[in-house]
Amino acid sequence: MTVKKPLNSVLVKPAGPDCNLGCDYCFYLDKSRLFPDKVHRMSEPVLKALVRQVMRAGSRQVSFGWQGGEPTLMGVDFYRRAVEYQRRFGAAGQIVGNGLQTNGILINAEWAQFLRDAKFLVGLSLDGPQHVHDRYRKYKSGAPSWEKVARARDVLLQAGVAVNALVVVNDHSAQYAREIYEYHKQNGLEYMQFIPCLERDTGNPAGIAPFSVSAEAYGKFLCEVFDLWSADFRSGRPTTFIRWFDSVFYSYVGLPAPECTLLPECGIYTVVEHNGDVYACDFFVEPEWKLGNIMTDSLTELLNSPLQNKFGAQKAVLPPECGECPWLTHCCCGCPRDRQNNPATGGSNHYCAAYKLFFEHADARLRQLEEQWRAQQVLVRPTMTRQTDPAVAPVTGKMPAASSAAAAHSAASKPHTTPDADPSPTPPIPAEDSSRRPSDSPAPPRARLGRNQLCPCGSGKKYKHCCGRG
């Protein structure tokens, strides 16, 4: 009997591929060819249908990853309405997280206040210091963007918004692992996500784009950052948080990783475009992997559809060299896209050598952390009365992921809850002192409405005949 995949997370592209930057390495700008309009914006009916489906069909803990393109092009009021729909359609005790990935160009005090108050976690695309960031992250005119993005970081942090740094590791930035790590740490971004860049060369489809990072360079980058991360432990606990290291650690303690790239199969989440079209994966928004549309189809059914299952199963068909590899249980051959984007590898993962280099370097330290974690569980578990699904718990005390599947491009999200929720996670390795963690306390619950009261949307109708109809 096939077990149905639960609807835990969704990746949303409310402005489609539209963006106010023109980064050289962006893979999503080209998706505009799939949609006839010049400007792409999610309508109110699509937003409402999306949130209703996720909240009502979703599991006890659900997350929305708002991405692009550039999602802030929708304006802050769009997200105010999204949060209100989440509260309206959510069940008692349901936990919802929101993550926003942004290039930071439109971030101002109003945005920062909303993101803080609504408990969003922001993934800020900031590749590092100016000479690193401005190498490829530019306006369409070719003008640099670092100064404005660095200012957005400061505005967000000063307002108390929880922010992750999203860093694309390319041929240039791979040379500056220490400088990038120290830059973010010194500027208040202790949560970092490093995304390797691999794209086809548009001028030579048989090759890879010159800004792609080689396996050797990426492997060395990971090893250097790992040593910096490990050296920054205090009293046996981490003080910086690297998402990929956190995710890899799950495999050491026998838990499913929160990144889809580190799971045996794909297909555990879906992508919803601005017009409601649903696709199998962020990296595979193509006609052949279009699953349906939320205005006519059930997200849960699309997530469990034959096409999505076919997509997910492809990852499990491994290259021959994986059969004897001692690191397979930890890397699961990475992302299928990295097997396809470099024709020269013949179907092997472009970053296979990088992963081998990393695990040979980091395995002993990770096993040491595993032992510490298992010892901690012996002490902690007898006192537990309730615990969340460990697969969505943070690994080193960092915040739950905005999309447990869309790892390569999603920001983590802090939960808010509908009434009666228990949002506290159980971190699987020694976590930092709780006083250092961004707050994950529930947002104040909205008042319970009687079905005969006036609907708060302002329609003048009774709640049971308006938004309370279900």
- How far from 133 is each of 65, 126, 169, 170, 350, CA to CA, in Å? 24, 6, 10, 10, 24
Reduced to 3 states, what is the DSSP secondary structure of residue 295? Answer: coil
Count of alpha carbons within 13 angstroms of residue 19, beta-carbon side:
27
Nearest by Cα to 129 from 197, 194, 178, 180: 180
Q: Where are the alpha helices (DSSP H) in 385-467?
A: none
| Residue 427, both tokens | 């971190």
Q: Which of 18, 127, 246, 282 is catalytic?
A: 282
Write the burial class of residue 13 (CB in 10 Å: 0-12 exposed, 13-18 middle, 19+ buried). buried
What is the C-alpha separation between 219 and 353, in angstroms, rounded?
Answer: 7
Q: 282 an active-site residue?
A: yes
Question: Residue 221: which of 169, 149, 276 has the closest Cα?
Answer: 169
Q: Which long-range contacts (CB under 8 A, 24 or more apart) does 440-448 make?
A: 440/399, 440/414, 440/415, 442/415, 442/416, 442/417, 443/118, 443/119, 443/416, 443/417, 445/417, 445/418, 445/419, 446/87, 448/419
* Residues designated catalytic: 282
